[in-house]
Amino acid sequence: MLDHILALYPPQSEETALINRIDEKRLPTHVAIIMDGNGRWAIQKNLKRNAGHSAGAEAAREITEIAARLGIKYLTLFMFSSENWQRPVSEVQFLLDMFYKNLIEQHELLAKNDIKLKIIGDTGKLPGKLQEKLREVEKSSQTNQRLQVNLALNYGSRPEIVRAIRQIIGAGIPADKVDEATLGKFLYTAGCPDPDLLIRTSGEMRISNFLLYQIAYSELYFTPILWPDFRAKEFFRAIIDFQGRERRFGSI
């Protein structure tokens, strides 16, 4: 399995050394990432914040392809939160336009790497043109099986849980029949296993309303690396750190 990714790097490279430390039998099935630090990355380089978002999009593409080659089955990327509408109008518009442009350009990436795309979040509040493109790309990738990428757009975990409860009530399910499995079926991530590993970049030590229900037993990995600089080597280090942990799920 790891031969698919070793072929990308010279034998003596740092990437190859890190890959050789990864146990392919103990890979996380589902990795979720809070991609933080685009703006600070741009400021450090005396660039406009939008340059940071563009660099962050490149990092997302690289990590997506690396995840597919590693054999990870689910990757959830926090692209745009329900709170991000509070940012300057010009920055929000740039992000929405960038999402649309990237969707057009990523057909080849999805097809080449056998990646299925799923959008999670309240997409009804996104621009109509972007909603249409999201549906188109989702549909065209539905038969792909190597990796499922969940893009969290206009996503917030608390609104997700409220939405699920409302749908359960609307479905007429009696209160005494509602359990964890029932709630899970009404979340945006229905059908996906919970994340084994949650990564947050940029040094911030918080979850920011992301997958609050789903990460109950996820391993958390915080790194000071800003998202545009979080590339293959940093991803490999996160996987190695995950594999060094003992997951007990409440038992001894």
Report the pLDDT averaged over residues 13-42: 97
What's the CATH number where 145 sits? 3.40.1180.10
Q: Does residue 248 form part of some domain?
A: no
Report the pLDDT averaged over residues 164-183: 97
Q: Does residue 140 form part of some domain?
A: yes
pLDDT surpasses 90 at 105: no
Question: In which band, very low, low, confident or very high, does the pLDDT at 108 lie, cut at 50, 70 and 90?
Answer: confident
CB 191 within 8 A of CB 136: no
Crossing angle for the helix pair 49-70 and 89-105, to the nearest 10 degrees: 30
Active site residues: 36, 84
pLDDT surpasses 70 at 252: no
Q: Does residue 250 form part of some domain?
A: no
pLDDT tens per residue, range 192-210: 999 999 999 999 999 999 9
Q: Using only the alpha carbons of the chain, give its radius of gyration.
A: 18
Q: Does residue 69 form part of some domain?
A: yes
In this prediction, residue 183 carries a pLDDT of 97
DSSP for 160-227 reads HHHHHHHHHHHTT--GGG--HHHHHHTSTTTTSPPPSEEEE-TT-----SSSTTTTTTPEEEE-SS-G
Report the pLDDT averaged over residues 223-233: 98
Domain total of the chain = 1
pLDDT surpasses 80 at 18: yes
CB atoms within 10 A of CB 116: 18
Q: Does residue 252 form part of some domain?
A: no
Q: Does residue 77 form part of some domain?
A: yes
Q: Does residue 251 form part of some domain?
A: no
Report the pLDDT averaged over residues 162-189: 97
pLDDT surpasses 70 at 164: yes
Whole-number average pLDDT of the chain: 95
pLDDT tens per residue, range 124-154: 999 999 999 999 999 999 999 999 999 999 9
Tokens of 241: 């750190």
In this prediction, residue 1 carries a pLDDT of 66
CA atoms of 218 and 195, how far apart (whole Å): 6
The domain in which residue 100 lies consists of 3-13+26-209+219-243
CB atoms within 10 A of CB 135: 12
